[in-house]
Amino acid sequence: MSESAQEASADLDALVATGLAGLVPRPFRVDRSRRETADTVTLTLAPVTGGSLEFAAGQFTMLGVPGVGEVPISISGDPTWPDALQHTVRDVGGVSHAIASARAGDVLTVRGPFGTGWGVGDGEGGDVLIVAGGIGLAPLRPALLELLAHRHRYRTVTLLYGARTPQDILFAEELAGWRGRFDLEVELSVDYAPPSWRGRVGLVTALIASVAPEQTLALVCGPEVMMRFVTTELLHRGVPAGQIRLSMERAMSCGVGLCGHCQLRELFVCLDGPVFRADRVLGLMAVEEL
Ligand SMILES: Cc1cc2nc3c(=O)[nH]c(=O)nc-3n(C[C@H](O)[C@H](O)[C@H](O)COP(=O)(O)OP(=O)(O)OC[C@H]3O[C@@H](n4cnc5c(N)ncnc54)[C@H](O)[C@@H]3O)c2cc1C
Ligand code: FES
């Protein structure tokens, strides 16, 4: 190795040692873009150089388009098969539009993975409940896939999913497969539906009535107001706040605890979250505009 290459390698080692390696983006090529709904796509990415990205269910990356910007997006793929890095992105603004418009062959940048995971293993031996609202099913999909990969370690596994309309349902084909399994309970509800819809209509909270509180680990992700109602309902059913986990969203820039953009009073969502125990964030969620 030349002297300058040795120096560069030493610099990189030093960077990794300080934990700042998370600031360096890696190029990933889009292998596939699958349309989920009118405004949402799932991208499957592969590293241009280096190994695949190992991650825990619930973690996110800073996903970027060169020259446009980067935003925090949860990993929606299978943690037991990290070779295919998947993100499910809703087109809501400048950067997410550029990401959602990416086609096979395009190169995006990835930093991470960052943050805390769902801690699915904590539910071993007991019942695990997943409650998802809208795009919130994307960060929960890795948790469900992990549960299914080790299904024998858990008692009951239940997915309650609420979408705005039938057209907004994510992972529709996969959901149909999950509904056909004997070892998984799946309930689906939409807020609004045309007369042709044969399924349930109503809020996802209405599905919680049958939850058995003992030994239940509850993983919840969706709009903040939905997570507040779901948590209240679960507490009412007797599920302890320490066994309820919520994934929080805040504006982010660095992803590694340096910029302060994601601060939620004393918490940094990028480092301490995005997954929190309900008893840690419930009080903060009640404060408007925090
Ligand atoms: C940890 C984490 C995980 C996320 N996972 C996903 C995911 O899996 N899929 C997905 O589609 N989106 C996810 N988001 C939200 C995503 O980061 C925002 O939609 C994105 O930053 C919007 O940026 P933009 O430039 O496209 O739009 P902007 O023009 O910046 O904003 C468009 C709208 O989105 C709102 N917004 C902007 N940033 C955020 C944010 N960070 N959180 C919530 N609302 C925001 C704005 O208030 C505005 O209403 C996640 C956010 C966080 C913090
Ligand atoms: S995103 Fe910069 S501190 Fe969390």
For residue 183, the CA-to-ligand 1 centroid distance in Å is 34
In this structure, which ligand is nearest to the CA of 274? 1
pTM over cut 0.85: yes
Do the domains spanning 3-114 and 120-285 agree at the CATH topology level?
no
3-state per-residue secondary structure call for 228-287: HHHHHHHHHCCCCHHHEEEECCCCCCCCCCCCCCCEECCEEHHHHCCEEEHHHHHHHHCC
CA angle 172, 123, 112 (to 5 degrees): 65
Measured distance CA(66)–CA(112) in Å, rounded:
16
**Cα of 127 from ligand 1 centre, angstroms:** 31
**pLDDT attached to residue 282:** 81
pLDDT value, residue 17: 56
As averages over each run of 10 residues, the pLDDT of the chain (290 residues) reads 60 59 89 97 94 94 96 96 94 97 97 95 95 97 97 96 95 95 94 89 86 85 93 92 93 89 91 94 68
Q: Which atom of ligand 2 is nearest to the CA of 72?
A: 1
Is 136 in contact with 249 (CB distance < 8 Å)? no
CATH of domain 3-114: 2.40.30.10
Shortest-distance Cα residue to atom 17 of ligand 1: 72
Other C-beta atoms lying within 10 Å of the C-beta of residue 166? 17
Domain residue spans of the chain: 3-114, 120-285
Q: How far apart are CA 284 and CA 5, in angstroms?
A: 49
pLDDT score of 275: 97
Residue 18 confidence (pLDDT): 55
Instruction: Please report which ligand is nearest the Cα atom of 170.
Output: 1
Fold that domain 120-285 belongs to in CATH: Rossmann fold (3.40.50)
Q: How far is the CA of 163 from the centre of ligand 1 (A)?
A: 18
Residues in contact with ligand 1 (CB, 6 Å cut-off): 60, 71-74, 88-90, 92-96, 135, 138-139, 249-252, 274
